[in-house]
Amino acid sequence: MSASTDQTFDVVVIGAGAVGENTAERAGRTGLSVAVVEDALVGGECSYWACMPSKALLRPGAALAAARGVPGVAEMLTGELDPAPVLARRDTFTSHWHDDSQVSWLEGAGITLIRGRARFTGPRTMTVTAPADGDGSPLTTTVTARHAVILATGSTPVVPAIDGLDPSEVWTSREATSVTDVPASLAIVGGGVVAVEMATALTDLGTRVTVVARGDRLLTSSEPFAGEAVAAALTDLGVDIRLGTEVTRATATGETGTRTATRLHLSDGSTVVVEKVLVATGRRPATTDIGLDAVGLDPEKPLAVDDAMEVLVEPDGAGTGWLFAAGDVTGRAATTHQGKYEGRVAGDVVAARFGPEGARGPGPGGPDAPDARTRERSAARWSQFRASADHRAVPQVVFTRPEVSSVGLTEQQARDAGLAIRTIRYDLASVAGASLVSDDYAGTAQLIVTTDTRVIVGATFVGPDAAELLHAATIAVVGEVPLDRLWHAVPAYPTVSEVWLRLLEEAGL
């Protein structure tokens, strides 16, 4: 469904990424009319240039490594990964960069899709500019929200200026995840999540990869042992990792065979010649170029939101009363799952606050429970109307080999927060279930436990399929489950999850 004339809806969501889609669906649950404005593909970054294609590129290498660790199977594996079917499978996960199925989903959910770029002209009102059909001028319409606007505009890559490097020539994660012509060599600038995942994926495809990271380790937001394990594994794969190093300038080297090449000059005096340069130096919330100044907000400053995901107006921090935000644009946590969680909260709050009196709305509660508006008005921390997990219970998985999964605080973050903690670690390879998975299984599990309340405030797992160990830890952190009670959650034998028993024994139980 698309709109071509000026229109008014109860709620307008700007951005139809994973977060905007979820938000819009929840906002409509008390009967409000909802439109979502999208400038590009419905489904956003995650579906086409981030989570899905990157994980599709990483999965074959992980499957191959897993099989290589099992005698009887390993002997059957005589070749290398074939890039063509890997890329073809990736293309199916991105629906060949077509959004028809996601548009159908929006239609099925009763949400109006307006194609074009939104820009505020005042509170609750925006222009939406769509590219012209044929050779006409762009089509601009006015879209107004009766009650609320929810920003879900995502984030954009930060590309630092490097002398001699044309920003239009470098790869960002978009070009890396949608690669068709696999480069012979690639330099990745940055040592964060995109850098390590793409270093793994491109190495699997046959590219010679150099990582140039200015930090003294990779994955600086994670526990040090995680970044060290990933660096060691990448080095074993043949990746050249330069830590504590920056690119000072770049020069073109002309042709190498049929392909152009760039020479990067590094701060340690060395140089590296590569076919492509991937800049993976972080992302910034997409707040510029949407007319925030027209509604009294500074587009250059991070949005301030409360736990109801309502945008606050600095300096006094009062709520706008009509503007909400969720996902990458908030700068709170840049992952799809956490953004969708924020979107569910924002959508539920909007549905409750602006829906008709007496509407039940989404959420638990029997037929006698108060209506959504009453429940939202008295909402406390950990209610469905407050994004409480954003503060100390955010999970993330880095899909490298080994995988890194974590939730909550790192040891350093817990100490900085003034918590009295102890750190408990266990070697995953010593768990019977892990040794069955693979002969060369290696990994580490770590819990951060408070010494007074004896609850888990942080957990990190490093190892094959560490992603699947994470949710148990997330439940323990969110539920603030004391160790003495966790003792009764008995892991099945022989699974990798038996590490939970070992960790609790290490904790003194």
Ligand X SMILES: NC(=O)c1ccc[n+]([C@@H]2O[C@H](COP(=O)([O-])OP(=O)(O)OC[C@H]3O[C@@H](n4cnc5c(N)ncnc54)[C@H](O)[C@@H]3O)[C@@H](O)[C@H]2O)c1
* CB of 148 or CB of 195, closer to ligand X: 195
**If binding means CB under 6 A, how many residues of this protein chain bind ligand X?**
24
Instruction: Report the nearest approach of ligand FAD to the CB of residue 22 (Å).
Output: 8
- Binds 214, which of ligand X, ligand FAD, none (CB < 5 to 8 A, cut-off by type)? ligand X
Instruction: Report the nearest approach of ligand X to the CB of residue 385 (Å).
Output: 25
Binding to ligand FAD by residue 476, rule CB under 6 A?
A: no
The residues, any chain, with a CB within 8 Å of residue 283's CB and separated by 6 or more, are: 155, 156, 157, 158, 328, 334
Q: Amino acid letter at 383?
A: S
Binding to ligand FAD by residue 23, rule CB under 6 A?
A: no
195 is annotated as contributing to ligand binding: yes
Long-range interactions of 125-133: CB distance < 8 A, separation 24+? 126/12, 126/14, 126/37, 126/291, 128/37
Place of tokens 């290498």: 61
239 is annotated as contributing to ligand binding: no
Long-range interactions of 169-175: CB distance < 8 A, separation 24+? 169/277, 170/276, 170/277, 170/278, 170/279, 171/276, 171/277, 171/278, 171/279, 172/278, 172/279, 172/280, 173/49, 173/50, 173/54, 173/198, 173/278, 173/280, 174/49, 175/278
- Binds 60, which of ligand FAD, ligand X, none (CB < 5 to 8 A, cut-off by type)? none
339 is annotated as contributing to ligand binding: no
Binding positions for ligand FAD, 297-336, rule CB under 6 A: 327-329, 334-336
Q: Within 10 A of 161 (CB to CB), how many other CB atoms are there?
A: 6
* CB of 152 or CB of 501, closer to ligand FAD: 152
* CB of 83 or CB of 215, closer to ligand X: 215
Pattern of binders to ligand FAD over 182-201, x per CB under 6 A? Answer: ------------x-------
* CB of 54 or CB of 200, closer to ligand FAD: 54
**If binding means CB under 6 A, how many residues of this protein chain bind ligand FAD?**
37
CB 482 within 8 A of CB 457: no
Computed on alpha carbons and rounded to an integer, the radius of gyration of the chain in Å comes to 24
Helix axes 336-354, 18-27, angle to 10 degrees: 20
> Nearest-CA neighbor of 202 among 238, 148, 166?
238
Binding to ligand FAD by residue 40, rule CB under 6 A?
A: yes
> Nearest-CA neighbor of 211 among 242, 250, 183?
242
* CB of 44 or CB of 362, closer to ligand FAD: 44
Phi, psi of 209 (to 5 degrees): -110, 135
Binding to ligand X by residue 397, rule CB under 6 A?
A: yes
* CB of 54 or CB of 411, closer to ligand FAD: 54
- Select the span of 68-76, 363-371, 391-399, 410-418 touching ligand X (CB under 6 A): 391-399
Applying CB under 6 A, the residues found at the interface with ligand X are 160, 189-195, 197, 213-215, 220, 246, 280-283, 334-335, 396-399
Applying CB under 6 A, the residues found at the interface with ligand FAD are 14-20, 37-40, 44-46, 50-51, 54-55, 117-118, 152-155, 173, 177, 194, 286, 290, 327-329, 334-337, 339
